Amino acid sequence: MAMKSVSAVAKQLEMSVNDVRRIARNNGYSRYKDAKIELYNVDDFNSFSNEKMKQKKLSKEHKAKLTGNTKKN
């Protein structure tokens, strides 16, 4: 199991660091993180293909709060 830093994986995949974190979190990839470094298993990302990410599902109430619309009774 080879581990690489999150910035090295992002550079290899030509993505941002946040995109790498999002993909890893969504697919349950293994990682090591402490206060100074964040490492991901490269084997997990080698098996990654162009899969679609799941869309976030927000409730109508939550969407209204985010957009600033308030429901008046």
- pTM exceeding the 0.85 threshold for the entire prediction: no
How many domains is the chain built from?
Answer: 1
Confidence of residue 71 (pLDDT cuts 50, 70, 90): low
Domain with 45 in it: 3-52
Burial tier of 4 (Cβ tally within 10 Å: 0-12, 13-18, 19+): middle
Give the β-pairing of 3-5 and 31-33: unpaired
Nearest Cα to Cα of residue 23 among 9, 2, 37, 35: 9
Residue 22 lies in a domain: yes
Return the pLDDT at 39: 92
Return the pLDDT at 65: 84
Two structure tokens written together for 4: 């690489």
Residue 58 lies in a domain: no
Residue 35 lies in a domain: yes
Residue 73 lies in a domain: no
> In this predicted model, what pLDDT tens digit does every residue of 14-59 receive, in sequence order?
888 998 898 888 888 888 998 889 998 888 877 765 555 566 788 8
